[in-house]
């Protein structure tokens, strides 16, 4: 049934132009002012003024199925019931269906708003709420116990607004998991703690089983891809872990397809090995939106295989290199292989 206009809205209005009254066929207009404090804001406000970049068509080897399994839904329900954030969702990981089906989720602590503006990342950027959620470590530990995880990965946004960069929140989360699930091995994927005056030492001293910090790309591309970070500071962080606790496994990752050369990737491998990095991951960069850094090209599976062989020859204990490799993809299985590789290496040295 059509809605009848109100009397004032249904009449023609008289408009006076230069003293001449005329009938016009415009209905009265209302000016709407949105006074809601919670009005939606752009996910990446700092990127809105950037020109759109081209989006390349994905090749067949990069395609994944939409997540629909029962295991995926169960993991999602547990994460949501604890009020937790995952990097799987926030960063738009292509492996979320596979990992969540196995109840593998990478927990993201310290909120969901990052203080950095890396041009490759889909995590929301802006000014986070002040402070941290004091009960978050306990909620993460509860979720780990409920999922029955044998290995868990904990990551975070960058929190440059905090004096310690979120270091103590990592420590508290590690301790909470150890108390609730003592048999669970813990892998952390940390920010760089740039200009945080040694607070990263507290995280290292909490002795996670794996300390991961991604270099992300080659030094030449840092200014455009990772402008808030410093390549050699990130490299030094990984070296500091080994200097402070030689038994702790270290891990780092690279994206390819951003315009780097093969020679530059191999130089980063050498830098990582000089810093004692045990485990290297290499995956294809996938462009989140047209406002993010453009894909230079899709690296072929054969090239990834070559990178893996080169990295193993350079002495990494563990290498994962494929188009869909991500830092925490197959993290539990990879950790078991990493530990076995170290044991085999030490046994060979004694022989």
99 is in an annotated binding site: yes
pLDDT of residue 30: 42
Average pLDDT, the chain: 83
Residue 118 is labelled as binding a ligand: yes
How does pLDDT run across 85-108, given as a tens digit for each residue? 665 555 556 656 566 565 566 788
Residue 8 known to bind ligand: no
Query: How many separate domains does the chain show?
Result: 1
Tell me the mean pLDDT in the region 291-318: 96
Distance CA 296, CA 103 (A): 34
pLDDT of residue 349: 84
In a domain, 130, yes or no: yes
Quick check: is 161 in a domain? yes
Q: Rounded to whole angstroms, how far apart are CA atoms 342 and 348?
A: 10
What is the mean predicted confidence (pLDDT) over 52-67?
A: 76
Measure the CA–CA gap between 131 and 315, rounded to whole angstroms: 41
166 assigned to some structural domain: yes
Nearest to 56 by CA among 294, 304, 302, 311: 294
The answer to whether residue 46 sits within a structural domain is: no
- CATH number of the structural domain spanning residue 298: 3.20.20.70
In the structure encoding, which two tokens stand for residue 335, read together? 């950790």
Short-list 223, 192, 229, CA closest to 293:
223
> Which DSSP category does 221 fall into?
G
> 121 a known binding residue?
yes
Q: What is the pLDDT of residue 203?
A: 98
The Cα diameter of the chain in Å comes to: 106
* C-alpha span between 139 and 223 (Å, rounded): 37
Q: How many residues are listed for the chain in this entry?
A: 351
Q: What is the pTM of this model?
A: 0.80
Let me know if residue 13 belongs to a domain.
no
Count other C-beta atoms under 10 Å from residue 351's C-beta. Answer: 5
Residue 258 maps to a domain: yes
Domain that holds residue 303: 65-350
The 10s digit of each residue's pLDDT in 221-271 is: 999 999 999 999 999 999 999 999 999 999 999 999 999 999 999 999 999
Is 156 annotated among the ligand-binding residues? Answer: no
Residue 124 has a pLDDT of 86
């Amino acid at each position: 049934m059509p809605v009848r206009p109100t009397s004032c809205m249904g009449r023609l209005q008289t408009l006076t132009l230069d003293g001449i009254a005329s009938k016009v066929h415009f209905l009265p207009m209302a000016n709407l002012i949105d006074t809601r404090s919670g009005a939606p804001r752009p996910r990446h406000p700092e990127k809105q003024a950037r020109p759109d970049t081209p989006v390349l068509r994905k090749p067949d080897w990069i395609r994944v199925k939409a997540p629909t399994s029962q295991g995926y839904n169960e993991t999602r329900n547990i994460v949501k019931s604890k009020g937790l954030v995952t990097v799987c969702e926030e960063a738009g990981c292509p492996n979320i269906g596979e990992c969540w089906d196995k109840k593998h989720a990478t927990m993201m602590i310290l909120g969901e708003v990052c203080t950095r503006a890396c041009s490759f990342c889909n995590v929301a950027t802006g000014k986070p709420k002040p402070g941290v959620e004091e009960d978050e470590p306990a909620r993460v530990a509860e979720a780990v116990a409920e999922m029955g995880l044998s290995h868990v990965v904990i990551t975070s946004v960058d929190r440059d607004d905090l004096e310690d960069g979120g270091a103590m929140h990592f420590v508290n989360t590690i301790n909470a998991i150890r108390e609730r699930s003592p048999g669970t091995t813990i892998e952390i994927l940390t920010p760089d703690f740039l200009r945080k005056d040694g607070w990263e030492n507290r995280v290292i001293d909490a002795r996670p089983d794996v300390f991961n910090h991604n270099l992300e790309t080659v030094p030449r591309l840092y200014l455009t891809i990772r402008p808030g970070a410093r390549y050699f500071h990130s490299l030094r962080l990984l070296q500091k872990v080994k200097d402070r606790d030689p038994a702790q496994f270290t891990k780092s990752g690279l994206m390819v397809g951003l315009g780097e050369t093969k020679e530059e990737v191999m130089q980063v491998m050498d830098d990582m090995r000089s810093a004692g990095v045990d485990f290297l991951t290499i995956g294809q960069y996938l462009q989140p939106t047209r406002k993010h850094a453009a894909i230079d090209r899709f690296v072929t599976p054969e090239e990834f295989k070559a990178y893996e062989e080169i990295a193993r020859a350079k002495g990494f204990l563990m290498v994962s290199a494929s188009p869909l490799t991500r830092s925490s993809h197959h993290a539990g299985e990879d950790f078991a292989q990493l530990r076995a590789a170290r044991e085999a290496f030490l046994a060979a040295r004694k022989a």
